[in-house]
């Protein structure tokens, strides 16, 4: 088993590139089935989702589609509704589009909760979520439960395949779990 030491923490390989490929294909198959005859807009959430999205998009079959990228901050403002702050704003019109948000991981679901509300407010016909990883035990927003999941994980910190540790190690070809 491969291991990585990063910033004083020890990580062990959890999902190999081959296992990730199986997960990505399974997600792509579901999306390909569900979006036959539609022209979805994939909204890819930077930075983490770029690796998963690149693989996922190339595994889709028979789906005419577009991709666009956004980046949002973890600052949510002081209002009770919370204010979504775009660092890279949405370039595409989502009005009357079938939107699929692509994430690396859904944790508390706050990001997805906010993004879904934003897409709906801007007239999206439908909004679904595809994520490589999902931490169901951590979910705090019911509407953020992802529609397409590569792999579920309990409350453990993971890196690689787009997931970072303070900006680094996104480029690892496998997903590694921290070991205490
Ligand atoms: P949420 O808004 O709480 O669902 O958080 C989602 C974001 O938290 C992801 O896009 C990641 O940037 C980050 N995150 C959550 N868990 C992990 C992890 O285990 N490793 C790396 N990043 C994580």
Q: Atom 19 of ligand 1 has which residue's CA nearest to it?
A: 157
Q: Say how many Å lie between the CA of residue 13 and the centre of ligand 1.
A: 18
DSSP-derived 3-state class of residue 32: helix
Question: Could you tell me the pTM of the whole model?
Answer: 0.95
pLDDT at 74: 62
pLDDT at 86: 86
Do residues 152 and 136 lie in contact, with contact meaning Cβ atoms separated by under 8 Å?
A: yes
What is the spatial distance between Cα 169 and Cα 165, in angstroms, rounded to a whole number? 6
Structure tokens at 11: 């990580």
Q: What is the end-to-end Cα distance of the chain in Å, rounded? A: 17
What is the spatial distance between Cα 113 and Cα 27, in angstroms, rounded to a whole number? 21
Q: Which residues of the chain have pLDDT under 50?
A: 76-81
Q: Say how many Å lie between the CA of residue 128 and the centre of ligand 1.
A: 18
Structure tokens at 90: 């949405």
pLDDT digits (tens, 9 = 90+) for 127-152: 999 999 999 999 999 999 999 999 99
pLDDT at 79: 39
pLDDT at 180: 77
Structure tokens at 166: 């303070």
pLDDT at 73: 80
List residues with catalytic annotation: 107
């Amino acid at each position: 088993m491969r291991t990585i030491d990063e910033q004083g923490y020890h990580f062990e390989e959890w999902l190999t590139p081959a296992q990730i490929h199986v997960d990505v294909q399974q997600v792509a198959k579901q999306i390909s089935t569900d979006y036959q005859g539609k022209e979805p807009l994939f909204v890819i959430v930077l930075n983490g989702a770029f690796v998963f999205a690149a693989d996922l998009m190339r595994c889709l079959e028979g789906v005419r589609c577009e991709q666009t990228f956004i980046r949002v901050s973890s600052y949510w403002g002081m209002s009770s509704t919370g204010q979504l702050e775009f660092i890279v704003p949405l370039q595409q019109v989502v009005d009357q589009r079938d939107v699929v948000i692509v994430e690396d991981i859904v944790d508390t679901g706050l990001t997805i909760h906010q993004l879904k509300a934003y897409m709906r407010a801007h007239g999206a016909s439908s909004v679904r979520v595809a994520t490589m990883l999902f931490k169901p035990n951590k979910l705090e927003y019911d509407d953020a439960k992802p529609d397409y999941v590569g792999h579920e994980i309990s409350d453990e910190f993971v890196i690689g395949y787009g997931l970072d540790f303070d900006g680094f190690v996104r480029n690892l070809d496998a997903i590694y779990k921290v070991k205490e």
